């Protein structure tokens, strides 16, 4: 016969569970003593090193950009390509710096709601900035290649490409819009496997997850 559970039943169950956990603790104690707590993995460590890598990448972009715009002031296309590459490098460093700052400010001893909100915001910012840095390559590759050629061989990429550069820009715009439209279509059309594959590539699901965590915290606060 099913009996309704009262809070006191739950407390009694909790005490039973407590005894069980205590017995397991005694068994696991030796394992704990043998391990060094400060060497345990940290979930945020890959994110930290990823941002350091992004800063190094940003610095390289700035060097390339500055080298191009400072040496190609007479060639308008190359001059602006250098500026774009420079700005891209600054943005990459800025986004990585903000993410690192958010990681450093995380204090796990803060109240649960505070820290969980900070973590969700960190995740959201990281994913959005990653999308800006990543998806911009649909068009960014053009000034990047132009700057790289100018730096390596002093070649004017645009002069060599002629009218084809227009097609490159058009295909970049189409690719960017197409990626966005295809992602929306996959999300709305109920194609689960396709959507999941795209999400894992574009971090769309992670972004939704970060948002859902923030919504969950908000609901909890408003309950």
The alpha carbons of the chain give a radius of gyration, in whole angstroms, of 26
Establish if 9 lies at the interface with another protein (CB under 8 A).
yes
Nearest to 98 by CA among 119, 117, 134, 125: 125
Q: Sketch the per residue contact string, 154 through 193, with another protein: x for CB under 8 A, - otherwise.
A: ----------------------------------------
Q: Are 105 and 123 in contact (CB under 8 A)?
A: no
**Residue with the two structure tokens 């390509």:** 81
Establish if 215 lies at the interface with another protein (CB under 8 A).
no
Nearer to another protein, 12 or 94 (CB): 12
The tokens describing 60, both together, are: 């390289």
Q: Sketch the per residue contact string, 67 through 106, with another protein: x for CB under 8 A, - otherwise.
A: ----------------------------------------
69, 101, 125, 156, 210 from 89: Cα distances, Å: 14, 18, 18, 21, 26
Please choose, out of 9-17, 52-60, 67-75, 127-135, the segment that lies near another protein by the rule CB under 8 A: 9-17
Q: What is the DSSP letter of 5?
A: P
Among 56, 101, 105, 216, binds another protein (CB under 8 A): 216
71 Cβ neighbours under 8 A, 6+ residues apart: 150
User: Where on the chain is the footprint of another protein (CB under 8 A)?
Assistant: 1-7, 9-14, 16-25, 27-28, 31-32, 35, 37-43, 107-116, 119, 206, 209, 213, 216-217, 220-221, 223
């Amino acid at each position: 016969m099913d009996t309704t559970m009262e809070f006191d039943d739950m407390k009694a169950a909790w005490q039973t569970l407590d005894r069980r956990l205590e017995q397991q603790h005694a068994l696991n104690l030796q394992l704990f003593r043998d391990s060094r707590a400060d060497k345990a993995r940290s979930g945020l460590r890959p994110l930290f090193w990823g941002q350091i890598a992004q800063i190094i990448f940003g610095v390289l972009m700035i060097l390339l950009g500055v080298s191009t715009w400072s040496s190609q002031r007479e060639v308008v296309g190359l001059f602006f390509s250098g500026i774009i590459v420079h700005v891209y490098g600054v943005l990459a460093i800025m986004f990585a710096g903000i993410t690192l700052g958010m990681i450093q400010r995380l204090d796990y001893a803060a109240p649960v709601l505070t820290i969980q909100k900070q973590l969700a915001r960190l995740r959201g910012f990281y994913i959005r900035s990653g999308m800006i840095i990543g998806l911009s390559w649909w068009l960014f590759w053009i000034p990047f290649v132009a700057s790289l050629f100018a730096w390596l061989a002093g070649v004017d990429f645009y002069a060599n490409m002629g009218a084809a550069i227009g097609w490159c820009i058009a295909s970049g715009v189409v690719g960017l819009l197409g990626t966005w439209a295809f992602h929306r279509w996959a999300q709305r059309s109920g194609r689960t496997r396709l959507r999941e594959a795209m999400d894992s590539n574009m971090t769309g699901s992670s972004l939704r997850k970060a948002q859902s965590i923030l919504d969950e915290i908000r609901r909890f606060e408003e309950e």
